[in-house]
Structure 1
Amino acid sequence: MSQCGSSKGKSSGLNQHYEEKVRPCIDLVDTLRSLGVEKDLNLPASAVIGIVTRCPLVLKRKKITKGNNWHGVLSYKKQEKKLKDPAEIENAVLNAQTILAGKGEGISHDMITLEIQSSDVPDLTLIDLPGIARIATGNQPVDIEEQIKGLIEKLIKRQETISLVVVPANIDIATTEALRMASKVDSTGQRTLGILTKPDLVDKGMEETVIKTVNNQEIPLKKGYMIVKCRGQQDINEKLDLVQALEKERQFFDGHSHFRSLLEDRKATIPLLAERLTKELVEHIAKTLPQLQKQLQMKLEKTSEDLKTLGDGVPLDENEKSNFLIMKIRQFNDALEGVKRAEEDLKTSDTRVFSKIRWEFGKWKLALDSKAIKSEFLITLYNDILHKLNSHFNAFSHLLRAAKDPIEDFLEEQVQKAEEKIHSQFKMEKIVYSQDELYSSQLNIVKQKSLSGYGLKASFVNADVREMAYHLTSYLKITCDRLANQIPLIVQYHMVDQYISQLQNAMLAMIGGKNPGMLLREDSGVALKRKELKERLERLKKAGKVLSKFVHSA
């Protein structure tokens, strides 16, 4: 894919494919990351574990085909530094780390972004994570190991991240903490690629073990292994440039009696690693794109809903404050009216309150128990009213508190009235009464069922006893039907109709009864949260446009 090293002779057709397919995929994720949506979405990424840094470093390498000018930009926390020469990179990164992580040897979760444009680099974006320190040294925090592991795991546990585990070839790879961490979050090795370094330090006699490891025969990973030889300290001291360093690396593998086979199998050298990483990243981006779109849509909807709940904020003008209070209370009263009329909005619930309480009322046919009505029905109604109250007045704690008092007071008042009527109803049922026509009709139904083999069994020896049973059954049916209708009617009248009407009137009384400015005083932090939500919404909208444009052009 890259035109570095051994891929210089690629055809123009493949170059065209590269420009049309590969570059746009990497640019897509880079653009999304530059918008800051990584705070909101899990973006596809390749994360390197095992290199010594103190902050996560996003390395963006972009190949330019026109001119040979090298260009670099280092950025962090809205700070930006332009780099004119590769020699400036090390000091620039160290200075940024000091600002973000302090002068000691601690770490920071804040990311540094280093973008390099050159004709000598492949298109590739990597996230370099801090190396794992087992023991605190010098002025490092005592819990430095836990801090670093927490930072690394936070990123590599995401299904959208490819983990690149960097391990020296001269040690036992099975004992490395980096590979253990990767295995913990990716037990099948689907998202892990092993990278061996320092092949020149491998002891004689151990070369075959290294070859087996790279050939995926020791500790298998789905993505396998690569091996590279980076610039040593002598190369750095001699200021060996990138082209010379890559040629020296190629010569090392080409001239090595054991490792030459790895070069021939395209499993060795930095240019081939870069090519492999680019391919892996592009395939990974394509694979995770549908889920990314779904993630984005869900975040957009949730952010819009949260922002709608907070509203635009309280106007400064006193007259406008009064109008704003009227609007908020009317919106709440409209929601209450929806509950009363069984026409409430189902955006925040999958079942209307009226449907829930009708299910409770249905129990009366089997068990006429006023306590059950009070416990189940009241909890349902009270929770729903408070939920609507919070959704409308969440940003205004003073208004919320002022509204809670009538909610609780009127509820208790209407409960008492409903209980009184229910007790009266049961007292009245001590009087035996039914209209003659209704009674005769029901008695006839009971007798017909008995004769047809349903209902009462006609097994009574005495005809008078059988007749008495017919009458008792008929009257019991009439009484149960009466109570099954009357009790829920009383409850619904007081606990829904009258209660909500009283509550609506109390809310309207607030408009002229108290200082709007006091009721509408926002809690500390609400304005900040609104600002954050607006910024997130803007980011996500921009990201949505970028994604949509990419999908349509693909």
Structure 2
Amino acid sequence: MSSSRIFSLFSSPDRIADDDKDSDSSQNESEEMKGEVHSYLEESIRPYIDLIDTLRSVGIQKDLALPTIAVIGDQSSGKSSVLEALSGVALPRGSGIVTRCPLELRLKKVTGGVKWKAVLSYRKRRIEFVDSSLVAGPIKASKLASGKVANLTHDEKKFEFGDPSLVEEHVEAAQNELAGKGVGICDELITLEVMSPDVCDLTLIDLPGIARVPIKGQPEDIGNQIKRLIMKFVEKPETINLVVVPCNTDIATTEALKMAQEVDPEGKRTVAILTKPDLIDKGTERNIVDIVHNKVIPLHKGYVIVKCRGQQQIDENIPLEEAKQMERDFFQNHDYFRCLLNEDKATIKCLAVKLTQNLVDHIKKSLPQLNEQITKLLWDVKTELKECEGGPPNDPRGAKQFLTETLKRFSDQIKSLSSGELVIKENLFVQLRAEFKKWNDHLNRTKTSFKNAKELSQKNRGRELLGFSNYKLFETILQKHVATLEEPAIELLHTIKDIIITHLTEVAIQCFRNYSVLIKITKTKINNIQSSQEDKTEQRISEQFEMENMVYTQDPIYLKILNEISEETFSEEQLPVFDIKSKYSEMLQAYYEIVVQQMADQLPMMISFFMLKETAQLLYTDMLSLLEKPDVRDLLFEDSDVSKRRKELRARLKRLSTAQEAISTFCTD
């Protein structure tokens, strides 16, 4: 079906048959064409529009971006006039920034006797201040110096009316409430849903006009504020960017088109509208035609030129329907632009058809990704809801049973964590192994060659005469060298303690996330047990280093290492001839190699045993003692925001499930 055939749907019956109004056959042909167009829309367009309407009606846009059209342009570019012509309602006008909040304009073509109806809605931020000492658990709020907590919430406001003349008043009132009276802007969205038999099926978002120079009362960075707000919308891949450019400006320098090109450099999701064609200088008409023909700045979705009501027509109260007829006459009688009308590249009605087609095509392309996003979000919501679904029974016996089950889940999680089966955020054993590797690397760096036997013997020589061996010399050198390892070993213990506390605390938060009292108690128990275990482990490490002063290893082990280091090979029977000071460097090196091998494994095993495995068991036993408290319901006190969170998750689950069901029929292929 060509766009010219679809175009006829948005033309009045008189215009469709205007050229042949006296011919019955032409009239019948026109009626047949209308029926064909209606059938095409019903079968190919309407289902997709209805799908997005369904998703939007259940509020799925709170969870992910939906295909839409964002309208951007410089101040006084004609944005409001274009939207008025598309929607059939008068929007706020004036100089400076008129659109001060993003305005989502939902146009819905309805039949069945409905004349005209609109619903305007928005959410106003509300700040609640509460004493921070009363707040338990994580909340989305900002802490103030006064010790108060500022908690942001939203109040939904909705107005339904049947008089089109009230639109401007309601939009202005909403903007004043959200952005304040004056010239400020706000990123809160205002939604205006217009249902009428005279509109096309579209959803557009009107954004503030791009300003370069602040006017009185505006902040110096108002231009940057507006650009940041616009970018929030136009950078989304789901958004078609509708750029409004006056014909009497240089399109190459238009800020709105530059911004669209930043986020869509290939122009695949950008449509441009040329406005105010009656204001161009004579002799520039061909330039405008070249732009619309995509010869100047090519856009994949192309250009449309329109002529909306001017200020004089507005002052004269020219109706929008009459203005549309005047627009068509303007292009029909224009020497240069008549061709654009014949090519369906001119008038608001042509724009409506083009945007509808583009939006539906965009919806089709976005559906697979939307389906994937909804499926993933559903999984996340169900998982999160499991963690806060239900709650402790009110009766003491039921509460105790609930606490028992809750503590058992925590115990199982701790056991899984200590055995390496549970991973929360980061893998505990990956972190531990990394720290143990640093310890092993440090040990290897402390290996000395002990090659300068003469210097070693002179520095550590006892009362013996020259030529005599001294075993005390051998021990002293080794003991001094091994003693330097104790401080790094204790530092390793402290590091491992911090890592384990972090992981144990994370498990507690995950298991008791709704119960701040339990979290607080568990954190205290974790820290107390870890401190006690740290003292115990530090004592074991000290004992380990005291034992290393004994200088002992099995003969076969020592001989094996010694033979690997020495240039000669000795048996146990030959070893006495090795006991000369010139060979002490090799003997020291061989024994220290054994020390390094022992310490590289023993310290990590010791720390892991006392700080992790034994801690897990102690923590489980200590937590069970909570069941002995007289009223366990105090332990299961829920944070004030838990019920609210549960309610939000259930609502989110409902709308995501509805969305998944609605979209599934479109993604079966």
TM-score band w.r.t. shorter chain:
0.7 to 0.9
AA of the residue aligned to 2:416: G
1:253 and 1:263 in contact (8 A); partners too: yes
Other-structure match for 2:356: 278
Q: Deviations over 1:28-52 (max 9, x none)?
A: 2222111111121011111122325
C-alpha displacement at 1:304, in angstroms?
3.1
Give the one of 567, 571, 584 matched to 1:457: 567
1:506 counterpart = 2:588: no
How big is the shift at 1:268?
0.7
Structure 2 length normalisation: TM-score? 0.70
Structure 1 residues 507, 206: CA separation in 2 closer, same or farther (over 3 Å shift)? same
Gaps of 5+ in 1: none
Q: 1:147 to 1:358 in 2, by over 3 A?
A: closer
Change (3 A) 1:97 1:518: farther
Given that residues 313 and 527 in structure 1 are in contact (C-alpha distance below 8 angstroms), is that contact kept between their aligned partners in structure 2?
no
Question: CA deviation digits over 1:233-273, x for unaligned, max 9?
Answer: 66667776666543332221111012112223321111211
Pair 90,164 (structure 1): closer, same or farther in 2 beyond 3 Å: farther
1:147 deviates by 5.8
Q: What are the residue-to-residue correspondences of 1:157-196 with 2, within 5 Å? A: 157-174=235-252, 176-196=254-274
Deviation digits for residues 349-383 of structure 1, max 9, x if unmatched?
A: 463x3454355446665527523531442233122
Aligned counterpart, 1:545: 661
Distance change >3 Å, CA 508–CA 110, structure 1 → 2: same
Partner of 1:29: 52
Is the 8 Å Cα contact of residues 96 and 112 (structure 1) preserved in structure 2?
Answer: no
| Alpha-carbon offset, residue 141 of structure 1 | 8.8
Query: Do residues 61 (structure 1) and 113 (structure 2) align?
Result: no
Residue identity matched to 1:457: E
Structure 2 unaligned segments of length 5 or more: list them.
17-29, 73-78, 81-97, 122-155, 444-484
Q: Deviations over 1:432-452 (max 9, x none)?
A: 4445xxx337746875xx6xx
Equivalences for 1:7-86 in 2 at 5 Å?
Answer: 16-49=39-72, 50-51=79-80, 52-63=98-109, 70-76=115-121, 77=156, 79-83=158-162
Q: Which amino acid aligns with 1:61?
A: L
Whether contact under 8 Å (1:191, 1:223) holds in the other structure is yes
Inter-CA distance 459–510: structure 2 relative to 1 (3 Å threshold): closer
The DSSP-based 3-state class of the residue aligned with 1:70 is coil
Question: Structure 1 residues 440, 69: CA separation in 2 closer, same or farther (over 3 Å shift)?
Answer: closer
**What is the aligned partner in structure 2 of residue 248 from structure 1?**
326
The CA deviation at 1:136 is 7.2
SS in 2 for 1:190: coil
Q: How far apart are 1:330 and its partner, in Å?
A: 2.2
CA distance in 2, matches of 1:514, 1:213: 82
Answer yes or no: is 1:428 the counterpart of 2:547: yes
Please tell me the residue identity of whatever aligns with 1:543: A
Q: Which residue of 2 aligns with 1:263?
A: 341
Q: Is the 8 A contact 2:490 2:538 kept in 1?
A: no
Q: SS of the residue aligned with 2:665?
A: helix
TM-score by length of 1: 0.83
Match of 2:166 among 91, 101, 113: 91
The secondary structure found in structure 2 opposite 1:550 is: coil
Residue of structure 2 equivalent to 1:299: 377
Counting only pairs closer than 5 Å after superposition, residues 154-553 of structure 1 correspond to structure 2 as: 154-174=232-252, 176-232=254-310, 244-344=322-422, 346=423, 348-349=424-425, 351=427, 353-354=428-429, 356-358=431-433, 360-361=435-436, 367=443, 369-371=488-490, 373-435=492-554, 439-440=555-556, 443=559, 456-458=566-568, 464-465=577-578, 479-513=595-629, 515-552=631-668
| Secondary structure, aligned partner of 1:196 | strand
Question: Are 1:59 and 1:127, in contact at CA under 8 Å, matched by a contact in 2?
Answer: yes
Quick one: distance in 1 between partners of 2:254 and 2:433? 63
Structure 1 pair 355–133 and aligned structure 2 pair: CA distance change class (3 A): closer
Q: 263-272 vs 13-22, which deviates more?
A: 13-22
What residue identity is the alignment partner of 1:548? S
Equivalenced residue count is: 534
Q: Match for residue 190 of structure 2?
A: 111
Partners in 1 of 2:292 and 2:618 — Cα distance?
77
* Structure 1 Cα separation of the partners of residues 195 and 201 of structure 2: 10
Find the partner of 1:122 among 192, 200, 212: 200
Distance 1:303 1:329 in 2: 24
Residues 394 and 633 in structure 2, CA contact (< 8 A), matched pair in contact too: no
Q: Which one has the largest radius of gyration?
A: 2
Change (3 A) 1:138 1:474: closer
Contact 2:367 2:666 in 1 (8 A): no
Deviations 1:486-537 (A, max 9, x none): 3333222211222122211221122323743433333343332332232222
Contact 2:102 2:205 in 1 (8 A): yes
Q: Which amino acid aligns with 2:43?
A: E
**Separation in structure 1 between the aligned mates of residue 167 and residue 541 of structure 2, nearest angstrom:** 80
CA 1:483–1:239 in structure 2 vs 1: closer, same or farther (change >3 Å)?
closer
SS at match of 1:204: coil
CA distance in 2 between partners of 1:182 and 1:203 (Å) = 27
State the AA in 1 paired with 2:535.
Q
Moved more, 134-143 or 181-190: 134-143
Aligned with 2:195: secondary structure?
strand
Shift of the 112–361 alpha-carbon distance from structure 1 to 2, 3 Å rule, reads closer
In structure 1, what is the Cα distance between the partners aligned to 2:157 and 2:492? 60
1:203 counterpart letter in structure 2? D
